[in-house]
Amino acid sequence: MKKNFILFLVLAEGLFSPFTKAQNDTLLYMDFNNDPSPYFSPDFYPPGNPYDTAWYNIDLDMLTPVGQNNGVGPAWFWSLAFADADTLQFVNVFAARSWFEEIGQAKNYLITPAIPIVDANAVLHWRSAPYQTPRYLDGYKVLISSTTNDIEAFTDTVFVAAEMTQLAPPNDTSGNFAAYQFSSGFIHGLDGQYVEDQGDPMRLRGMLRPFSISLAPYAGKFIFVAFYHDSYDDNFISVDEILVTGTYDPNFGLNKTDIPHLQVKLFPNPVHHLFSLDLSADKALDGLELEIVDITGKTLHSEDLGKVQGALRKQISAAHLSTGLYALRIKYQGHSTTLKFQKL
């Protein structure tokens, strides 16, 4: 069943700063100052992976933005900040639009990599700004999945930014918010904060506003965060400085094995081109062996992992494997443990 609940929300200037949270580790950070496209997966649709390390930028509406002459435009795209003051302080943002050649609803997903939420200290921070308000104010939702990054898994709505749903009467050019209708949620600019007056009271330019949400309900889980832009026939929205702070534990999510003193984790799964094997040994284990085996039992790859003590991450190429199911086997002094994975 879909959950719609608002977690602890902070709407306060000055609380958003990585430098004021030195007591916490940075679990995720993206400021969009540089083109983020190298971080995004080339796959159109996320694979429903519980440990996926890639970002995803997905356009499910497939509508043509106004002014885009070569067909369907991108979902979220790299842009200068909207407000003049923000272009000086924050420079670039990630933006999306609901203004199309054919009237319709945007369906744009920006999905983070998997984030380990070890304990109740974790907090999600971000900034957002609409291109304008109140006229054609764009909204969006922040969704969370605590299972996989499949679209259908984002069942928890933890924040809603309202969109304009009805224009003011034609004779009302005052910019009075009460003359417009909005969907439920936070209305940017209603309190007179984080807006830039550019000479038109109906089109105040939105400035990047900080938000924070406690992730305490997800303690002990890996989560994915999705910024879902779903406005209907409005304008533009932007997000910036996506940050998750909390407690970092390199052993979080590791699975106990049949090999004494050893824990392992394989991710992502399914695998595309490269996957990681995280190992943690609470005593020195010398002579660990790794094998990749197909469904017939044939060994396709083997290597000596050498001595492992403490935490070790081993990256393994799957480029030579055909699509299908495989087993990764670790052997040590007569003991073995097997992790199954899928190659896409």
β-pair partners for 279 = 264, 312
34-63 average pLDDT score: 83
Q: For residues 164 and 229, state if they share a domain.
A: yes
User: According to the model, what pLDDT value does residue 13 have?
Assistant: 33
Q: For residues 228 and 311, state if they share a domain.
A: no
Boundary-marking domain end, from 198, 225, 246: 246
Q: For residues 168 and 274, state if they share a domain.
A: no
What does pTM read for this prediction? 0.75
Q: For residues 143 and 284, state if they share a domain.
A: no
The CATH number covering residue 307 comes to 2.60.40.3080
Q: For residues 241 and 289, state if they share a domain.
A: no
Q: For residues 41 and 142, state if they share a domain.
A: yes
Q: pLDDT tens digit string along 236-268?
A: 999 999 999 999 887 777 777 888 899 888 877
Boundary-marking domain end, from 246, 280, 311: 246
**Residue whose token pair is 């000479």:** 199
User: According to the model, what pLDDT value does residue 74 have?
Assistant: 66
Half-sphere exposure of 270 (CA within 13 A, CB side): 17
In percent, the amount of the chain with pLDDT more than 70 equals: 91
User: According to the model, what pLDDT value does residue 143 have?
Assistant: 98
Q: pLDDT tens digit string along 113-156?
A: 889 999 999 999 999 999 999 999 999 999 999 998 999 999 99
Q: For residues 193 and 269, state if they share a domain.
A: no
336 pLDDT more than 60: yes
The CATH number covering residue 72 comes to 2.60.120.200
Residues, the chain, total?
344
186-190 average pLDDT score: 98
3 pLDDT more than 80: no
**Residue whose token pair is 């299908």:** 324
Q: pLDDT tens digit string along 272-324?
A: 788 888 888 988 999 899 999 988 889 999 999 888 888 888 888 888 899 88
SS3 at position 58: strand
Range of the domain at 134: 3-246
> Of residues 41 and 35, which shows the higher confidence score?
35
CA 32 to CA 241: how far, in whole Å? Answer: 7
Q: For residues 228 and 265, state if they share a domain.
A: no
Q: For residues 178 and 47, state if they share a domain.
A: yes
Q: For residues 141 and 88, state if they share a domain.
A: yes
Boundary-marking domain end, from 246, 274, 296: 246
217 pLDDT more than 80: yes
CA 311 to CA 288: how far, in whole Å? Answer: 14
CA 234 to CA 97: how far, in whole Å? Answer: 8
